[in-house]
Structure 1
Amino acid sequence: MKSSHKRLACFLFPRLPKGRPLRSALRAGASRAAISALCAASAFSFSPSVLAADGGSGIIARVSDTDVRIDDIRSSLESLDPREQAALAANPALLSQAVRSLLARRVVLAEAVAQKWDKNPAFTAQLEKLRENALIESYLQSVSQPPADFPSEADLHTVYEANRAALVAPRQFRIAQIFVAAPAPSAADTAALEKAKARLDSVKQQLVRSGSDFATIARSESDEKQSAANGGELGWLTDAQLRPEIRDTVTALASGAVSQPVRLADGWHILKALEIRDARPLTLDEVRVQLSQRLRAERLQANRQAYLAKLLEENPMTINELALSRVLAGEKLKAEN
């Protein structure tokens, strides 16, 4: 059976982009399949007993001779963005998975060093390129940063006024739903489909009764239990967050109105517009942070380009275009052969 949050996802576009996998500090450089296989095959120790047996040294996990300490995990967590940190806080199982991935990477690292892979000429050449790129980017960032007090209040006002027409909060709908699960119309289980249709008819009859309350019916009848607990309420949504299949239905509703059942692949959705907010101009205070970030990013890029131009002016380049064309011709010949 599909979980309620999956049904909700089928009905609406996600409000935020999907979360990425735990990033570079935990997974970069090793294939997912290899790490998963190593985690499954290794005798990992991950329990409070590890910490207790280690005399409170801060070791929270161990595999073979490899330890992971609290400071290692803290450092890895600090490298994650706020959404990833929130996901770990909400689901401790993800933290356990992160520790196992970190342990697996430590095992791979130890094996690579034991095999003297860090002395491999191809690796050392690659490492030097990475070092050069990191050094260049870090230096350019440092010399391109705008002053700490940029942008000024006057700068923000100027940009705000110039872009006022585009700075608009979109129309929003506070929506509730009653969901009646049903097999796809093409499903072979006709009995289940007829049973779902009977339930839908029952819900429709309850809704048209005098004095009926949508929220009460949603709590008792909706198959989407997460929203049902809140009287069917889904919260505030913009046009863009609604799936095309239901967008016209929702946007045509007046405040307080209830739609006819909308058939989607997972069943029928009866929608109610609890409240509607018209599109409105955003105030400067509402967009101050975003404008400041954009202006700083634009100034940083402009400073970067100006610094590079000045540097190249002081260090003129000469390129032997004829020799370069010969190199390209040689590479093309190799590719053809």
Structure 2
Amino acid sequence: MQESQQNIQRYEEYEIDLRELLRTLMKNRVKIVLITSLITIGAVIYAYMTPKTYQVKAIIKIGEYKLANANANDNANAKVVIANASELSKELEILFIDILKNDKDREAKIDLLKKQKNFLEISAVGSSNKVASSELKKVIDYVQGNHKKILDDVKNLREAQAQQIEGKLTLLKNKTLPALLDKINRYKKDITIYETNFLDVQSNLKKIKEINPTLATIQINEQRYLADMLIKLKDSLEGFENEKNNIEVVQIEKYEEELNALKVLMKPYNYKNSEVIGNIMTNDYPIAPKKKLIVVVAFVTGLILSIFIVFFMEFIKGFKEEEKEA
């Protein structure tokens, strides 16, 4: 029974307190409306006076060039990406964000860099789409300009390699091979002469063997000399012919294959500079200020603040009355 009376008493006290709060709010409703309205109107003025900020975006695909040699079947489609997306992102962040962040005269700035494998998303903000796009274009031009230099270096290197191979082919075809053919022809003639002399000595040896043994001995020595020379000449001839075959079948063919492979790699379609995927993306509406959000937040803040001020003033007022009564 006692607990029930206590609960009723607490409820009555709570009801009284709630009524007092409502009376306070109703009594000061003009102040609440006034404060809330002032803050809200201030927010509206701020939202409409603040310069608009537009954002534009572009997705860049990092360029590449073909690496594989025509003979490298396993890597027939191997390609080299010009730059690492992460490293490129850091470079652009330093050049276009960190270094320029204190430049107060800039109408636009690079806002964000996102990297994903061989792609890079760049966004810029400015007072208009045109200004922001112009700032973004600077970054794109920088990337494409640097990457074009890299591609040009690769092309120049391959052109130099092609010229070097062409020089080797010219040397082999116009100097080394003709000189080798002259040697082979001379050796063939020498072998023919030595073979004729050998047969003559052999024929004479049969005739004079019994007639003049001393002369026969000289002829035998000469025959041996001719036989040794024939062996040496034929060995040398065989070496020259092997060298000639190696040049014609192996070296020239190898250099021609390398040259053809380089010429294929030097075709324009094997080089691709960094490029923007699609077009630069713009938005008809600014990203800032967010007028509706600012007004709503200001209204809620103003309402809460005005209620707090009213209750605080009532608290001070009540505190002073208690001091007077005391």
When normalised by structure 2's length, the TM-score is 0.25
Structure that is richer in helix per residue: 2
Greater C-alpha Rg: 2
Greater relative contact order (Cα < 8 A, sep 6+): 2
